[in-house]
Amino acid sequence: MGEFELIAKYFSAVGAKRSDVITGVGDDGAVIQVRDGHDLVVTTDTMVSGTHFFANDDPRALGHKLVTVNISDLAAMGAEPAWLSLALTLPEVNEHWLSQFSAGINETAEYYNCQLVGGDTTRGPLSLTMTAKGLVPRGKALSRSGAKVGDYIYVTGTLGDAALGLKLQQGLHQVSKKHQTHILQRFQYPSARVALGQALRNIANSAMDLSDGLYGDIQHILHRSAVGASIDVQKLPLSQALKDSCDNNTAYGLALSGGEDYELLFTVSENKRGSLDVLLSPYGVAITCIGRITGAIGKLELKKSEQTFSYQPQGFKHFA
Ligand SMILES: [Mg+2]
């Protein structure tokens, strides 16, 4: 099967069918009608076999994750996802793998109302690159640079589940049978907080998504906003599954540095906290206040029961 047949068979009609796509897959470029009064938000993520995933991972889950990690970046910007492109490097044409991978992209793109509008395929070591484009009302994009001293720091959902899921998949950690599905699901089929990101447009001073773990990720907000942060580890939202599967310090470690949670981290000023609770309650995603932004530029302070919590961060590495 040649490149053109492959594209036609597996990638020509993937995701939602959007009326703003004038020309999609199959031409030299995609032609898209961009909505008036909006800014375009563009993000790219690459997943390399042996670094971000294992060559024998379920291709459907890989397709799902590739879309989700990109959409999660759009969510963090407060954008509405719209269009995707895919650059695929394959060691060989394996039709079973391709059909599952394409199905994973298709169902996830459809879920987020995104259409695959183009891409490229090449032969080489397995590598998956996706670019996602979305729209945000002009001037309303969220960023990492707007955090203010005194802001309250929030995260969505629960932290550390995906990292535990990876350990479970690798056979490095036991999880009781009743929690296994939930924990594996959180690692293999993460969700992007799209509706919530859009709801934060007029509320949050800064926002980002958590891909590498809170401890490392929040440093980007601290540096871009020239502020510090104080976080109470006892306030970190942990799922029952995580609490039942680990001792406290292991759970804090996974929540702080585990990575791949794809939850949102955002900061809100004191006077917006009330509207935050009211506006976000219909979204059905828990939000938890975990600390405050401080004036100690670039410094992240971890506390537990008003005492300093000493923590040696471990970066999230698949093959560590
Ligand atoms: Mg991100």
Cα–ligand 1 centroid distance for 116 (angstroms): 20
28 labelled ligand-binding: yes
Note whether residue 147 is domain-resident: no
Regarding whether 271 and 131 lie in a shared domain, the answer is: no
Confidence of residue 316 (pLDDT cuts 50, 70, 90): very low
Identify residues whose C-beta is under 5 A from ligand 1, the ion.
Answer: 73, 209
Confidence of residue 320 (pLDDT cuts 50, 70, 90): very low
Task: Please write the tens of the pLDDT for every residue from 181-207.
Answer: 999 999 999 999 999 999 999 999 999
| Structural domains in the chain (count) | 2
Task: Please write the tens of the pLDDT for every residue from 134-143.
Answer: 999 999 999 9
Cα–ligand 1 centroid distance for 173 (angstroms): 27
144 labelled ligand-binding: yes
Summarize the confidence of residues 75-83 as an average pLDDT: 98
Cα–ligand 1 centroid distance for 71 (angstroms): 9
Note whether residue 66 is domain-resident: yes
- Please check the confidence at residue 318 and state whether its pLDDT lies above 70: no
Which letter, b or e, does each residue of 185-212 get, where b requires 16 or more Cβ atoms within 10 Å of its Cβ?
ebbbbbbbbbebbbbbbebbbbbbbbbb
Dihedral angle at the C-alpha atoms of 258, 103, 122, 50, nearest 10 degrees?
30
Regarding whether 42 and 131 lie in a shared domain, the answer is: yes
Q: What pLDDT, on the 0 to 100 scale, is given for residue 287?
A: 94
Regarding whether 129 and 23 lie in a shared domain, the answer is: yes
Confidence of residue 282 (pLDDT cuts 50, 70, 90): confident
Note whether residue 38 is domain-resident: yes
CATH number assigned to the domain comprising residue 128: 3.30.1330.10
Summarize the confidence of residues 213-218 as an average pLDDT: 96
pLDDT more than 90, % of the chain: 87
With contact defined as beta carbons under 8 Å apart, do 37 and 43 qualify?
Answer: no
Summarize the confidence of residues 84-98 as an average pLDDT: 95
Q: What pLDDT, on the 0 to 100 scale, is given for residue 197?
A: 96
Cα–ligand 1 centroid distance for 73 (angstroms): 5
- Which range of residues forms the domain containing residue 274? 152-308
Confidence of residue 246 (pLDDT cuts 50, 70, 90): very high
User: Which residue type does 229 have?
Assistant: A
CATH number assigned to the domain comprising residue 303: 3.90.650.10
Q: What pLDDT, on the 0 to 100 scale, is given for residue 315?
A: 54
Tell me how far apart the alpha carbons of residues 269 and 21 are, in angstroms, rounded to a whole number.
39
Regarding whether 98 and 224 lie in a shared domain, the answer is: no
Q: Do the strands 300-304 and 228-232 form a parallel or antiparallel pair, or are they unpaired?
A: parallel
Regarding whether 276 and 183 lie in a shared domain, the answer is: yes
Q: What pLDDT, on the 0 to 100 scale, is given for residue 8?
A: 85
Note whether residue 62 is domain-resident: yes
73 labelled ligand-binding: yes
Nearest residue to 78 (alpha-carbon basis) of 117, 108, 33, 38: 38
36 labelled ligand-binding: no
Query: Which domain-ending residue is among 89, 106, 137?
Result: 137
Task: Please write the tens of the pLDDT for every residue from 255-267.
Answer: 999 999 999 999 9
Note whether residue 268 is domain-resident: yes
Cα–ligand 1 centroid distance for 212 (angstroms): 9
Q: What pLDDT, on the 0 to 100 scale, is given for residue 250?
A: 93
Cα–ligand 1 centroid distance for 39 (angstroms): 18
Regarding whether 260 and 174 lie in a shared domain, the answer is: yes
Regarding whether 157 and 131 lie in a shared domain, the answer is: no
Note whether residue 316 is domain-resident: no
Within 10 angstroms of residue 264's Cβ, the number of other Cβ atoms is: 27
Cα–ligand 1 centroid distance for 210 (angstroms): 6
Cα–ligand 1 centroid distance for 94 (angstroms): 31
Regarding whether 197 and 70 lie in a shared domain, the answer is: no
Confidence of residue 5 (pLDDT cuts 50, 70, 90): confident
Nearest residue to 164 (alpha-carbon basis) of 250, 224, 286: 250
Regarding whether 298 and 178 lie in a shared domain, the answer is: yes
Within 10 angstroms of residue 284's Cβ, the number of other Cβ atoms is: 8
Confidence of residue 314 (pLDDT cuts 50, 70, 90): low
223 labelled ligand-binding: no
Query: Which domain-ending residue is among 81, 109, 137?
Result: 137
Rounded mean pLDDT of the chain?
Answer: 94
Nearest residue to 212 (alpha-carbon basis) of 44, 309, 73: 73
260 labelled ligand-binding: yes
Better pLDDT: 294 or 51: 294
Regarding whether 160 and 260 lie in a shared domain, the answer is: yes
Query: Which domain-ending residue is among 93, 114, 137?
Result: 137
Regarding whether 29 and 73 lie in a shared domain, the answer is: yes
Note whether residue 133 is domain-resident: yes
Q: Phi/psi of residue 24, each to 5°? A: -105, -135
Q: Phi/psi of residue 156, each to 5°? A: -90, 160
Regarding whether 161 and 111 lie in a shared domain, the answer is: no
Note whether residue 50 is domain-resident: yes
Tell me how far apart the alpha carbons of residues 318 and 320 are, in angstroms, rounded to a whole number.
6
211 labelled ligand-binding: yes
